[in-house]
Amino acid sequence: MLEYQYDGTFPGLLTAIFDAFNRKEQPDAILRPGAQGLLFASVYAVETSEEKADRVWAGIKRVGGNTTCEHLYHAFLSLDEQVEMAIFSYSKHLFACNAPVMTDLAHPDVLKVHKLDRMVLREAHRVLMFLRFEQAADGTYFAPFAPQYDVIPLVIGHFKSRFADQSWIIYDTKRGYGFYFNTQTIEQITIENPTFGSATGKLRQGTEHPDEDKWHELWRSYFKHISIAERKNLTLQRNFMPKRFWKYLTEKRL
């Protein structure tokens, strides 16, 4: 049994793929730090190399095009247990065919990558749906969110073009980093001394804009009155809007 260990980054994984091709090896597992190793396996430690990673990435792009690159990167973001091996086998299949294979859905690894890609994109879309801004006293709009996967970087472009005239912060409370937009440029930030509650991400009393409560009240009232009582169907509501998002929703949190 042969086990590759890499540093858990995407370039690290691409380096692992490079090394496997280079060494003409077929690893039985490619493991990120902290992953459960194989018993009695011989271990090869991958040393991340930007250069090797770039070459593999360029190769994938040349054969599979941009769409393939996006699929693989999105799938990687899922941090699924088998994602590394799926991406490795997908790449092997891609290079063997020397043509895009993303629609070869009867191939187990292509299907796996396809499904993971969709899963991650669905989560990214949910950020667009369920993210809520709250205006702080200084006028900045603040939005906490804790997506299941690290997808905030995929969606900030959407918020940049939509809310181009307001400064905002979108903060991933689960991963402890976020993005600040000052109406001109976006920068990545880490908040050291949060002025928001850790449970709901709500701005603490006194740090929010004086009008904020009024808008919350209006929105909650709208949310309540637009529903038709005779058609009440809480299961359907939860299917569309899973409970894990409720803590950040103005209309749902207490």
Q: Which residues bind another protein (CB under 8 A)?
A: 101, 103-107, 111, 125, 128-135, 141, 143, 158, 161-166, 215, 217-219, 221-223, 225-237, 239-241, 249-251
**37/223 with CB nearer another protein:** 223
Minimum distance from residue 49 beta carbon to another protein (Å): 33
Minimum distance from residue 133 beta carbon to another protein (Å): 5
Q: Distance between CA atoms of 237 and 231, rounded to whole angstroms?
A: 11
Q: Do 94 and 68 touch, CB atoms closer than 8 A?
A: yes
**74/132 with CB nearer another protein:** 132
**177/219 with CB nearer another protein:** 219
Which residues, other chains included, contact 212 with Cβ-Cβ below 8 Å and sequence gap of 6+? Answer: 134, 135, 203
Minimum distance from residue 112 beta carbon to another protein (Å): 10
Chain center to CA of 225:
34
The candidate with the shortest Cα–Cα distance to 117, out of 151, 94, 153, is 151
The candidate with the shortest Cα–Cα distance to 132, out of 188, 50, 42, 215, is 215
Torsion of CA 156, 158, 160, 163, to 10 degrees: -130
Q: Distance between CA atoms of 44 and 38, rounded to whole angstroms?
A: 12
**111/186 with CB nearer another protein:** 111
Minimum distance from residue 191 beta carbon to another protein (Å): 20
Minimum distance from residue 245 beta carbon to another protein (Å): 10
Q: Distance between CA atoms of 158 and 147, rounded to whole angstroms?
A: 16
212 pairs with which residues across the strands?
none
Q: Distance between CA atoms of 128 and 156, rounded to whole angstroms?
A: 9
**138/230 with CB nearer another protein:** 230
Beta strands 134-135 and 42-45, pairing class: unpaired
**44/179 with CB nearer another protein:** 179
**13/170 with CB nearer another protein:** 170
Hey, is 144 helix, strand or coil? Answer: strand
Minimum distance from residue 74 beta carbon to another protein (Å): 17
Minimum distance from residue 160 beta carbon to another protein (Å): 10
